[in-house]
Structure 1
Amino acid sequence: MAQKETTAPLYTTTRSRVQFWQRRNMLPTLLSYAGMLCILVVIGLPIYWMIIASLKTNQEIYTIPPTWFPRELTFANYPEAWSAAPFGRYYLNSMLTTVIGSGFEIFFAVTSAYALVFLRFPRKQVIFIILLAALMIPPEITIVPNYITVARLGWVNTYQGIMITGIAIAYGTFLLRQYFLTLPREVIEAAKVDGAGHLQTLWYIVLPIAQPALVTMALISIVYKWNEFLWPLIVTNTTDMRTLPIGIFWLLDQEGVTNWGVVMAGTLFVIAPIVVIFIWAQKYIVEGIAAGAVKE
C-alpha cells in the first residue's frame, strides 16, 4: 500500500509536467499558424479581389460597401481586355525576351559560378567580392548608362535592347556558386581522374546534381523578366515592341475612366503563366534557396 501511495503522486507530478511542456510547446506552433494566416491574408486577399473584380461589372466594382462575390457574374471583361490592347503581340514580345534573356542569364551564371568554384586562377576572391558589391547596386542607377550604351549600339526599340541589360545578373552567379560549394569534391575529383574535362564535368555531374538551384534561379529570372516594366518602357517606343506589363499600364486609362474589371482581367493574362510555372517548380525552390545560403 505504501508503494502505491508513493507511486500515485509521482505519476501525477510527472503527468502534470508533461502537460505543462506540451502546452508550452503549443505556443510557438500557434504563433506559426497565426503568422501563416496573416501572410495568407496579405497575399491571398489581393489575388482573390483581382479575380472577382475581373468577373464584375464596372458599376459593381465602384459600389460601396464592396461586394466580396459578384452579384452579376460576367466574363465580358476578358475579351474586352484582349481587344483593348494588342495582348497577342505583347505575349509574343514577353515570351521572346523572357525565354531568350533567361537562357543567356542561366548560361552566364552557370559558367561563371563553375569557374569561381572549380577553377584556379589569380584574384578569384577579389572577383567574388566585386560580384557581391554588384548585388548592392540598385538597378535604377544603371538605367541612364545602359540606355546610352544601347542607343549607341542602335538597339533602341529592338529585342536585343530589351534583353541585353538582364543577361548578366550577379544574383544568379552568387546563388549557383553557393550551391556548387556544397557539392561533394570526391565526385568531381573522380571525374577528373577518369579523364573528364571541365565541360563534361559541368554537363554530366554538376548540372544534374544542382537541378534544384538551377530551377530556383531560372524561376527568379523568368519572373523578374516577365514582370519588368521600367526598362522595356524606356527602351521601346512603338506598340509592336511593348511587353505585357506595359499593356496593363495601357489599360489603366481608356477614355479618361479606369475600367477596373478590364484591368484586372488583363492582369490575370499576365500572371497566369507565372502561376503555372511556380506551381510546377515549387518543390525545387526551398531546396535550392536553402542550399544556396552563404557558405564560407
Structure 2
Amino acid sequence: MVLYLLLAVVVLIPLFPLYWLVISAFKTPAEFVQIPPTAFPAEPTLNPLTTALTEVPFFRSMANSVIIAGGATISVVITSIFAGYVFAKHQFRGKDVLFWAIVSTMFLPPIVTLVPLYHLVSSMGLADTYLGVMLPWLANAFGIFLMRQFIMEVPDELIEAARVDGAGELRIVWQFVIPLLKPAVVTLAVFMFVYAWNNFLWPLSILRSEAMYPVVLTLNRLMSYTMSFEFQNVVIAGALVASLPTLLVFLVAQRVFVQGIASTGVKG
C-alpha cells in the first residue's frame, strides 16, 4: 500500500504544474493573487482566455508556429532517415569521421552558433521568412544519430534481397526500412515538434515583423501588455492555449512514443 502511495505521489508531482496552469487560466484577477492561493476557481471565468485571444493576434501566431514547427519536423524526419540509412548501411571513406563530426555538433551551445547563423540567413535574403526561421532546423544531428542507431538493427539480408530483386535505394528506404522505423520516427517527430514550437531565441533574432511571430514571441508580447499582477491570469490563459498543440501531439503519439523511448535505450 505504501509503495502505491509513493508511486501516486511521483506521478502527481509532474502533473501539478499543468493542473495549476489550467485552474489559474479560469481565475478572476482578485483570486489569482489571493494568498493563500485557492486550489480551484471559486468563480470560474472565461475572461482571461478571451482577453488573451483578442489582445494580440493569437490565432495568426498559432498558425505561424504550426507552419514553422510542422515544416521543421517533416524536414528533420526525412533528412534524418536518409542520412541515418547512409551512415548505417553504406561504406565510404571518412564515414566514421563525418558521422562523429555531425554528432559533435550536438554539444555546441545554441548561443555559440546564433551570430554566424544570423549572418548566413540574412545574407541569403531569408530574414523575416518562414524558411529563414526553419533553415537551422531542416536537419538535426540528434535525428541522424537516432535513425542510424535504429537502421543498424535492420537486417542486411533484407536490404540485399531487395537489391537482388531490382529495388533502388529510394524504394528500399521507403518500402523496407521506414516501416520498421515507426517508433523512432514518432519519437523524433515529437521531440522536434516540441523543440521547434517552444524555441524562442532564434525566431526573436531573425524575425522582424510581428505578423510572422510564432506563439512563443506573441506570449512575450502579451506579457508586456499585462505587466500588472492584475492581468497575470491573462498571460497564464495564453500559455495554456499555446501549450495545447504540443500536448495534443504527445497524446496522439504517446503509445508509439513510449515504445520508441524504450527501444532507444537498448539500441547498440
1:124 corresponds, among 81, 84, 95, to 95
Give the C-alpha shift of residue 223 in structure 1: 0.7
RMSD over aligned CA atoms reads 1.8
Which SS does the other structure have where 1:55 is aligned? coil
Structure 2 equivalent of residue 278 of structure 1: 250
Task: Output the CA distance in 2 between the equivalents of 1:191 and 1:248.
Answer: 51
Q: Which of these two proteins has the greater Rg computed from alpha carbons?
A: 1
Structure 2 equivalent of residue 16 of structure 1: none
Residues 176 and 213 in structure 1, CA contact (< 8 A), matched pair in contact too:
yes
Residues 182 and 291 in structure 1, CA contact (< 8 A), matched pair in contact too:
no
Deviations 1:57-96 (Å, cap 9, x if unpaired)? 1111101110001111111111110001101210121111
TM-score (norm 2): 0.94
Residues 116 and 124 in structure 1, CA contact (< 8 A), matched pair in contact too:
yes
1:134 corresponds, among 105, 130, 140, to 105
Give the C-alpha shift of residue 287 in structure 1: 2.2
- Residue 124 of structure 1 aligns with an amino acid whose one-letter code is K
Task: Output the CA distance in 2 between the equivalents of 1:59 and 1:232.
Answer: 35
1:288 corresponds, among 255, 260, 266, to 260
Q: Is 2:228 aligned against 1:257?
A: yes
Residues 52 and 235 in structure 2, CA contact (< 8 A), matched pair in contact too:
yes
Q: How does 1:1-296 map to 2 (within 5 A)?
A: 30=3, 34=6, 36-254=7-225, 256-258=227-229, 259-293=231-265, 295-296=267-268
Residues 54 and 260 in structure 1, CA contact (< 8 A), matched pair in contact too:
no
Give the C-alpha shift of residue 56 in structure 1: 0.4
Task: Output the CA distance in 2 between the equivalents of 1:190 and 1:292.
Answer: 27
Which is bigger in relative contact order (C-alpha 8 A, separation at least 6)? 2
Equivalent pairs counted in the alignment come to 267
Residues 226 and 234 in structure 2, CA contact (< 8 A), matched pair in contact too:
no
Residues 219 and 235 in structure 2, CA contact (< 8 A), matched pair in contact too:
yes
Task: Output the CA distance in 1 between the equivalents of 2:251 and 2:72.
Answer: 22
Structure 2 equivalent of residue 18 of structure 1: none
Give the C-alpha shift of residue 286 in structure 1: 2.5
Task: Output the CA distance in 2 between the equivalents of 1:183 and 1:120.
Answer: 16
Residues 226 and 235 in structure 2, CA contact (< 8 A), matched pair in contact too:
no
Percent pairwise identity? 35
Give the C-alpha shift of residue 295 in structure 1: 4.7
Task: Output the CA distance in 1 between the equivalents of 2:195 and 2:154.
Answer: 28
Which runs of 5 or more structure 2 residues have no equivalent in the other structure? Answer: none
Task: Output the CA distance in 2 between the equivalents of 1:38 and 1:145.
Answer: 46
- CA, structure 1 residues 33+111, in 2 after alignment: closer, same or farther (shift >3 Å)? farther
Residues 105 and 169 in structure 1, CA contact (< 8 A), matched pair in contact too:
yes
Which runs of 5 or more structure 1 residues have no equivalent in the other structure? Answer: 1-25
- Structure 1 segments (4+ residues) deviating >6 Å: none
Task: Output the CA distance in 2 between the equivalents of 1:275 and 1:106.
Answer: 20
- Residue 209 of structure 1 aligns with an amino acid whose one-letter code is L
